[in-house]
């Protein structure tokens, strides 16, 4: 397993620390919404990213969505807040923290099951994986807790990925196993100075398939690679926010036009769709640096930073019209060279 890329980016990020307070607040607010949206979406929650932000930041109820979906959003955000408090005061996570994370995830949804181990057999729909007998769960969790506290010699990212894998494979709860495992993984990453890993909804099939392959005794390569790529993307986000070129996308460095991105590369770099980028261009939020004779519009890498700023302002519930005014008033470049 190769960690060269994330190790280099982690070292670059460490050199830039401490990040400016405003940048750090913006990052934390963005990740709080994004982690909540993505983790719940993986489990079937239908709140969109925008709706999740409205629920968390404004406390507004979204029409047509169930109470359970609203609670899943607010609960996950509170669990992230608990993780933030946790990493500030301790370096080791044990069984009681895992139980508390699960309790927060299911609070108000499953009063009896929140923070309690299952006492019945469970199966995952559509999977042939056989989960441990419920009578074995307490002992398995004690062993897991001992391992968490053992000071593993594994690379921190490998350790966090392994913790996630072991917890979902024990499947100690009736519900909420995946969300709890991802929260635990990100807690361990952040304890070691890494940003949290975001498993995107678009990667759901690959994520579940890689887990199942490993649980059935197959290779772990796909699972480990998926987690490494998720951490790598988050490091890029932190480095871009800190203004460090090392965090900009590999696509930019490899662009044949030299440090210029095609619209598809820009969209991939910032996690937006091409139609969204085109819409922002139409509104005057983004401008290509140049166009090729073939008609391709090319963007400077500064446009990545501008897109991140737009995403942060959207997370604060500003309209696109308000964002246009805010960015223009700040004197930020529009992406031209």
202: which DSSP letter? G
Find the Cα–Cα–Cα–Cα dihedral 262, 267, 268, 269, rounded to 10°: 90
User: Between residues 260 and 61, which one has the greater pLDDT?
Assistant: 61
pLDDT at 250: 40
First-last CA distance in the chain = 39
pLDDT band at 259 (very low <50, low <70, confident <90, very high): low
Q: What CATH number has the domain spanning 252-330?
A: 1.10.1660.10
pLDDT band at 292 (very low <50, low <70, confident <90, very high): low
pLDDT at 23: 85
The segment with the largest mean pLDDT, out of 147-156, 177-186, 252-261, 301-310, is 177-186
By annotation, the residues acting in catalysis are 171
Q: Do 114 and 107 touch, CB atoms closer than 8 A? A: yes
Mean pLDDT of 315-329: 83
pLDDT at 22: 85
Q: How many CA atoms lie within 13 A of 5 on its CB side?
A: 16
- 83 vs 21, 49, 91, 121, 212, CA distance in Å? 19, 21, 12, 29, 27
Question: What is d(CA 106, CA 95) in angstroms, rounded to the nearest whole number?
Answer: 17
The burial class, CB within 10 Å (0-12 / 13-18 / 19+), for 31 is: buried
pLDDT band at 245 (very low <50, low <70, confident <90, very high): very low
- CA torsion through residues 54, 83, 195, 197, sign: negative
Which of 64-78, 79-93, 221-235 shows the lowest per-residue confidence on average (mean pLDDT)?
79-93
Residue 151: which H helix or E strand, with range?
none
Peptide bond preceding 18 in cis form (omega within 30 of 0) = yes
pLDDT at 63: 96
pLDDT band at 333 (very low <50, low <70, confident <90, very high): very low
pLDDT at 253: 37
pLDDT at 233: 93
pLDDT at 246 over 90: no
Look at residues 71, 275, 285 and name the one whose alpha carbon lies nearest to residue 179: 71
Question: What is d(CA 15, CA 8) in angstroms, rounded to the nearest whole number?
Answer: 11
Two tokens, residue 212: 């199942």
pLDDT at 255: 39
pLDDT at 8: 95
User: Between residues 310 and 23, which one has the greater pLDDT?
Assistant: 310
Question: What is d(CA 308, CA 306) in angstroms, rounded to the nearest whole number?
Answer: 5
Question: What is d(CA 325, CA 329) in angstroms, rounded to the nearest whole number?
Answer: 6
Question: What is d(CA 314, CA 72) in angstroms, rounded to the nearest whole number?
Answer: 22
Q: Do 62 and 47 touch, CB atoms closer than 8 A? A: yes
Domain ranges of the chain: 4-245, 252-330
pLDDT digits (tens, 9 = 90+) for 82-95: 999 999 888 889 99
pLDDT at 160: 98
Mean pLDDT of 220-232: 97
- Phi and psi of 56, rounded to 5°? -75, -40
pLDDT at 293 over 50: yes
Q: What CATH number has the domain spanning 4-245?
A: 1.10.3290.10
- CA torsion through residues 129, 180, 158, 232, sign: positive
pLDDT at 118 over 90: yes
User: Between residues 155 and 152, which one has the greater pLDDT?
Assistant: 155
Other Cβ atoms within 10 Å of 109 Cβ, number? 15
pLDDT band at 326 (very low <50, low <70, confident <90, very high): confident
Mean pLDDT of 139-160: 95
């Amino acid at each position: 397993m190769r960690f060269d890329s994330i190790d280099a980016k982690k070292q670059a990020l460490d050199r830039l620390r401490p990040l400016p307070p405003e940048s750090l607040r913006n990052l934390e607010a963005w990740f709080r919404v994004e982690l909540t949206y993505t983790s719940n979406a993986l489990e079937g929650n239908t709140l969109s990213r925008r709706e999740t932000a409205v629920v968390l930041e404004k406390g507004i109820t979204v029409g047509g969505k169930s109470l359970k979906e609203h609670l899943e959003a607010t609960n996950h955000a509170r669990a992230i807040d608990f993780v933030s408090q946790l990493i500030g005061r301790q370096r080791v996570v044990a069984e009681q923290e895992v139980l508390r994370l699960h309790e927060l995830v299911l609070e108000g949804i499953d009063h009896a099951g929140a923070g309690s181990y299952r006492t019945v057999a469970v199966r995952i729909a559509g999977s042939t994986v056989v989960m441990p007998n419920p009578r074995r769960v307490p002992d398995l969790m004690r062993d897991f807790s001992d391992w968490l506290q053992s000071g593993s010699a594994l690379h921190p990212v490998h350790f966090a990925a392994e913790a996630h894998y072991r917890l979902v494979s024990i499947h100690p709860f009736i519900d909420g196993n995946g969300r709890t495992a991802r929260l635990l993984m990100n807690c361990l990453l952040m304890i070691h100075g890494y940003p949290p890993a975001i498993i995107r909804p678009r990667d759901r099939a690959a994520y579940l398939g890689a887990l199942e392959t490993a649980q059935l005794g197959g290779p772990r390569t796909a699972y480990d690679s998926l987690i490494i790529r998720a951490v790598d993307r988050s490091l890029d986000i932190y480095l871009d926010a800190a203004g460090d070129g090392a965090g900009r996308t590999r696509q930019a460095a490899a662009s044949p036009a030299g440090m210029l991105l095609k619209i598809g590369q820009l969209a991939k770099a910032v996690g937006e769709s091409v139609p969204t980028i085109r819409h922002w261009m139409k509104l005057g939020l983004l401008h290509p640096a140049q166009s090729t004779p073939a008609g391709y519009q090319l963007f400077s890498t500064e446009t990545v930073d501008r897109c991140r700023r737009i995403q942060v302002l959207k997370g604060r519930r500003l309209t696109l019209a308000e964002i246009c005014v805010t960015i223009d008033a700040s004197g930020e470049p529009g992406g031209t060279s």
